[in-house]
Amino acid sequence: MKKNISRLLFGIYALGIIITNACSQNLHSSQGETEDYKVYSEILLSWSDGKGYEFIVNKLTNDKMIRQFNFKNPKEHLIDTISDRVIYNDDWKHFLDDVNPSQIRNHDLSNNFKGGSFRVHLSEKNKGNTFPSTVNYERYNGTIFFSPILFSEDHKKAICTIENYVSPENAGGTIVFLQKEGGKWVIVDHITLFIS
Amino acid sequence: MTNIKNDIVLFSSLNEIIQDLVAIDPSLQNPFYDVTGMINRIVNSTTWNVTIKEANIPLITDASGNSIQTNAKTTAENGSVIITFNDTYLNAATDLAVARTMIHESMHSYFVYGLGLPLDVEYENFKVVHSLLFDKKGNPTNDQNLAQHQQMAIRYTNQIAALLEQYAVKNNITSPVPGLSLLDYCKDLAWGGLEGTKGYRLYAPDKSRIESNIIKENTNDPTSTQKKGC
């Protein structure tokens, strides 16, 4: 009887280890689902019109455009009379005011797209696209450059720039404003910074 | 208007090109449907402020080491819309290529103003005609790069080509491709910047010829029109 109880307890213990391992493996396999990934993928989803195209994303972030953004006076980048932009909202104003562009640092995006649900090809040395001479425009949607993401202190707001280069007169750069709503990142505004 | 005049005086070749484009059809046509009308609206408007300038636009290099050039760009800055031509491009391209880019960027300027003025009396008409710039909720789409080029590709390539052909005729520019009419040559060039759009994939007839002719004009190739003032 004692032996049976011991075997039963051992069985429960072993099962526990298997379940724990399985859980950790799940956590491990969803490594790509970081906060950064969630922000970038929300933007890619919007940029693909919700259809989930394949993307070539530059492996390194590009901080130039976000550094040049005038966080103290974002109106400088607008000609419009749209009154409900987030930049006029007090919470956003505080967040933007606190940004110190000199502290923005580029980083490698490899880990951000590991295990994600998007088909993203990271452009890297000797493996990337061949812009512009032998591009096949039947399949090429451009190369995307993301900036590092700036999060607000409470992690409920985020800002990021996206640049997409398709051809010498088909390129654009946009700053995107996102907010966390019900646990999900949502694009709440954007400003087109250049189009060519 | 004043800014354009001031700036284009500095860049006499650009001045000639935009003056030629406006002179082709000086009457104000319907800007909602017509490329000439859009350009006239930009040049003749007393409230829209579009400045044209020349500057070095740095190359962007991707992680593969490929350098990506931008020929020109349109931006909104301090209440004005600025069209900046890349001086590398101006030095390399033919006048016909620069004229095409002038039309292309002028259309972006028109769209930027159109999108930015929701209180304007013309806004609802603008939305109806340029529906590809808006999402299902009626808001400007996030990816205006794709949207504006789609809109041009679907609706305006023939008009861009017609305007470009008139510019060429006025400046004694002929088709450099034997057997290809000037209008067809200009139709090829009108797709410049629209590659990668759905409109290009669906409607551009001979993509390898189009892409080759665009590159030749952009680089003043010996088999291009070769007329160069810029």
Tell me whether residues B64 and A128 touch, CB distance under 8 A.
Answer: yes
Q: B227 CB contacts (<8 Å, ≥6 apart)?
A: B94, B95, B96, B171, B172, B173
Q: A140 or A57, which is more confident?
A: A57
- Distance between CA atoms of residues B142 and B209, nearest Å: 32
Sort strands A170-181 and A157-167 into parallel, antiparallel or unpaired.
Answer: antiparallel
Nearest in space to A174 (alpha carbons), one of A43, A39, A42: A43
Is A24 in the same domain as A121?
no
Ramachandran assignment for A183, one of left (phi > 0), alpha (psi -120 to 50 degrees), beta (any other): left
| Average pLDDT of chain A to the nearest whole number | 77
Q: Is the dihedral of CA B173, B176, B179, B184 positive or negative?
A: negative
Average pLDDT for B58-78 = 87
Q: Which residues of B touch A58 (CB under 8 A)?
A: 62-63
User: Could you give phi then psi for residue A25, rounded to 5 degrees?
Assistant: -65, -40
* A 18-77 → B contacts, CB under 8 A: 43, 46-47, 49, 58-60, 62, 76-77
Question: Which of B3, B50, B68 is the best substitution to test chain A (most A C-beta atoms within 10 A)?
Answer: B68
Tell me whether residues A141 and B218 touch, CB distance under 8 A.
Answer: no
Give the CA angle between residues B207, B213, B215 to the nearest 5°: 100
Nearest CB to A196; choose among B66, B71, B146: B71
Is A17 in the same domain as A43?
no
* A 105-124 → B contacts, CB under 8 A: 122-124
Question: How close is the nearest chain A Cα to the Cα of B141, in Å?
Answer: 9
Cis peptide bond prior to A132, omega within 30° of 0: yes
Are A111 and A117 a contacting pair, CB within 8 Å? no
- Distance between CA atoms of residues A166 and A148, nearest Å: 21
Average pLDDT for A118-143 = 57
Question: How close is the nearest chain B Cα to the Cα of A187, in Å?
Answer: 9
Is A111 in the same domain as A55?
yes
| Average pLDDT of chain B to the nearest whole number | 85
pLDDT of A93-128, one tens digit each? 999 999 999 999 998 888 777 655 556 666 654 344
Tell me whether residues B64 and A196 touch, CB distance under 8 A.
Answer: no
H or E element: which one contains A185? Answer: strand A184-195
Question: Which of B64, B74, B191 is the best substitution to test chain A (most A C-beta atoms within 10 A)?
Answer: B64
Structure tokens at B151: 């809109």
Q: Which residues of A touch B149 (CB under 8 A)?
A: 166, 170
Are B71 and B87 a contacting pair, CB within 8 Å? no
Tokens 């451009």 found at: A142
What is the domain count for chain A? 2
Are A108 and A43 a contacting pair, CB within 8 Å? no
- Distance between CA atoms of residues A110 and A59, nearest Å: 6
User: What is the ipTM metric for this complex?
Assistant: 0.87
Note whether A83 contacts B: Cβ–Cβ < 8 A: no
pLDDT at A8 over 70: no
Question: How close is the nearest chain A Cα to the Cα of B201, in Å?
Answer: 6
Is A10 in the same domain as A81?
no
- Distance between CA atoms of residues A164 and A172, nearest Å: 6
- Distance between CA atoms of residues B199 and B201, nearest Å: 5
Whole-Å CA distances, A188 to A34, A83, A84, A92: 20, 14, 11, 11
Is A151 in the same domain as A98?
yes
Is A152 in the same domain as A101?
yes
pLDDT tier for residue A16 given thresholds of 50, 70 and 90: very low
How much is the pLDDT for B223?
97
Sort strands A157-167 and A150-151 into parallel, antiparallel or unpaired.
Answer: antiparallel
Q: What is the DSSP string of B3-22?
A: HHHHHHHHSHHHHHHHHHHH
Is A12 in the same domain as A55?
no
- Distance between CA atoms of residues A49 and B145, nearest Å: 12
Nearest CB to B64; choose among A78, A129, A168: A129
- Distance between CA atoms of residues A189 and A84, nearest Å: 9
Q: Which residues of B touch A167 (CB under 8 A)?
A: 192-193, 195-196
Is A183 in the same domain as A93?
yes
Is A186 in the same domain as A91?
yes
pTM for this one? 0.83
H or E element: which one contains B212? Answer: helix B207-218
What's the burial of A12, exposed, middle or buried (CB within 10 Å: 0-12/13-18/19+)?
Answer: exposed
Nearest in space to B155 (alpha carbons), one of B137, B129, B179: B129
Is A39 in the same domain as A17?
no
- State the CB neighbour count (10 A cutoff) for residue B129: 17
Is A16 in the same domain as A36?
no
- Distance between CA atoms of residues A172 and A180, nearest Å: 25
pLDDT of B172-220, one tens digit each? 999 999 999 999 999 999 999 998 888 998 999 999 999 999 999 999 9
Average pLDDT for A173-195 = 96
Nearest chain B residue to A131, by CA: B66
Nearest CB to B196; choose among A78, A163, A166: A166
* B 30-89 → A contacts, CB under 8 A: 60, 62-66, 68-81, 89
| Percent of chain B residues topping a pLDDT of 90 | 57
- Distance between CA atoms of residues A179 and A193, nearest Å: 20
How much is the pLDDT for B1?
31
How much is the pLDDT for A72?
95
- Distance between CA atoms of residues B3 and B158, nearest Å: 30
Are A112 and A146 a contacting pair, CB within 8 Å? no
Is A12 in the same domain as A49?
no
Tell me whether residues A170 and B193 touch, CB distance under 8 A.
Answer: yes
Tell me whether residues B148 and A195 touch, CB distance under 8 A.
Answer: yes
User: What residues make up the domain containing A146?
Assistant: 32-195
